[in-house]
Amino acid sequence: MKTQVFDLGNVVLCDICGEDYTDSAMCGGILFGSNACCPECAVSIEKDAVEFGETGYIKGRCPKNVKFSDWCILLRGNNDKIKITSWEPEEDLPF
């Protein structure tokens, strides 16, 4: 078993389009399920959520006049690491 840990620091990428908002001054965005959607993606995500009756998945909105990147970092709290665990083919899987 191999585990890798990546520290994101202050890097902020949209979970939908992957655009880098780390140094962006853009405000807005939504939390759709567990995905942070940038201000640009949020428009179509929210439109589709209304059309398909999925507005309940909108779990939060970036407060007015708050940068998307700052809001995302607040959402993370102290959890700014990604942990990936993989198994080698010859190892027994844990399930």
Going residue by residue through the chain, which has 95 residues, state the pLDDT in tens, using 9 for 90 and above.
Answer: 789 999 989 999 999 999 999 999 999 999 999 999 999 999 999 999 999 999 999 999 999 999 999 999 999 988 889 899 987 766 666 66
pLDDT for position 93: 62
Interacting residues of 47 by C-beta distance below 8 A, sequence separation 6+: none
Specify the DSSP class assigned to residue 55.
Answer: G
Question: Where do the domains of the chain lie?
Answer: 2-86
- CA distances from residue 15 to 2, 40, 72, 75 in whole angstroms, order as listed: 25, 12, 11, 13
